[in-house]
Amino acid sequence: MYEKCYYSATVGQSFHYLKYMPNGMKDGEKYPLLIFMHGAGERGNTDGSQLDLVASHGYFKYIKEGKEYPMIMVAPQCPCNEFWGSYIESLNRFLDYIIDSNPIDTDRIYLTGLSMGGTATWLWAQDGAKNRFAAISPICGEGISWYGARLAAIPVRAFHGDLDEAVSPHESLAMVSRINAYSGTANASLTIFAGVGHNAWDYAYNDELIEWFLAHRNSDKKDISLPTWA
């Protein structure tokens, strides 16, 4: 089961968050970290009283149902009526805190999110100051495609439903196309689920995606020459 935790920031935004620690952890070992960014419907009060909303979808939902995973997972909660894009600097400090207070393998830090959290995944990974993610998986989010070059070295698996009326599938398509235009390889992929609306996460979050994350390390990234503005 997950824990309910609180990160008290000395600078920037504080976050209530869920944390999952795998069973059978051994002293002295470092573990992969998956950060999950929830959607707009799972925002909550700043007192943490609505933190369980974060486990409404995705891997924390499966953890609540008894599923186990071979990695540490954390999921911060965005305050009501706010958006993740306002908190990128605070999220970087939050990640620093998680690394400092848990046995994290910094070569294997992964990022994923859905809807508003899918947008956060794109934006946070594009933040040039803290390029620490070994792989990312944005689900039905919006990106800044003209800065796609910033993600050219990061393995990306994006997902979208072709009937999504909340966030157009074109958003994911534009991001993946722009990234691959700069990477020189098909470093980013997009799966579009036929007949699926906004809830692409129900189809994307499975064991196969976990295996895909674990196959990537920060140290494996290719050295890609980017334009000076990226």
Instruction: Read off the pLDDT of residues 106-147 as tens digits, 9 standing for 90 and up.
Output: 999 999 999 999 999 999 999 965 678 999 999 999 999 999
Report yes or no on whether pTM surpasses 0.75: yes
Q: Tell me the domains of the chain and their CATH numbers.
A: 3-220 (3.40.50.1820)
Give tens-digit pLDDT for 8-22: 999 999 999 999 999
Give tens-digit pLDDT for 175-216: 999 999 987 667 899 999 999 999 999 999 999 999 999 999
pLDDT of residue 229: 67
Q: Token digits for 52?
A: 């369980």
Instruction: Provide the pLDDT confidence category of residue 230 given band limits of 50, 70 and 90.
Output: low
pLDDT of residue 87: 97
Give tens-digit pLDDT for 68-113: 999 999 999 999 999 999 999 999 999 999 999 999 999 999 999 9
pLDDT of residue 199: 98
Q: List all residues 6 or more positions away from 34 whose beta carbon is below 8 Å from its beta carbon.
A: 59, 69, 71, 72, 73, 74, 110, 111, 112, 210, 213
| 16-34 core/surface letters (b: 16 or more CB in 10 A; e: else) | bbbbbbeeeeeeeeebbbb
Give tens-digit pLDDT for 34-77: 999 999 999 999 999 999 999 999 999 999 999 999 999 999 99
pLDDT of residue 222: 75
128 vs 130: CA distance, rounded Å: 6
